[in-house]
Amino acid sequence: SHYEEIILEIDANLKILEQTSNEEGGAVYDYTLQLTQLTDEISKLQPQYDQATQDLNTKFGLDEWCGECKGGWGTCDGRVEYLRSTYGNSVVLSKVEIMGEGLCKKEG
């Protein structure tokens, strides 16, 4: 009967709700716990990442990167994103190549 179908659907939905609950053992709880752990890991590694980025920028002259000037392709940052997403080029390599052509350097 239609009534029994509704009861079965309600029961099935209640089971799904229990599985995705915010209580321990529920999917939301599990994902929240995992996200918290990953966020903690990122926080611990952030200073090392920032230092490595600064060292890399200095070594390759990327601290002179403008990013907002326009070439024949739009902004230089846009070109870097295009090269990364289309060809899988690294951000650093793309910037170094563009700057090697004398483009996208800060003025002054």
**71: phi then psi, degrees, rounded to nearest 5:** -105, -165
Instruction: Using DSSP, state whether 74 is helix, strand or coil.
Output: strand
Q: What's the pLDDT tens digit per position in 36-68? A: 999 999 999 999 999 998 998 899 889 889 888
Summarize pLDDT for 58-102 with one digit per residue, the tens. Answer: 998 898 898 888 767 788 899 999 999 999 999 999 999 888 888
- Count Cβ atoms below 10 Å from residue 64 Cβ, excluding itself: 14
The model's pTM: 0.55
The CA distance from 51 to 88, in Å, is 24
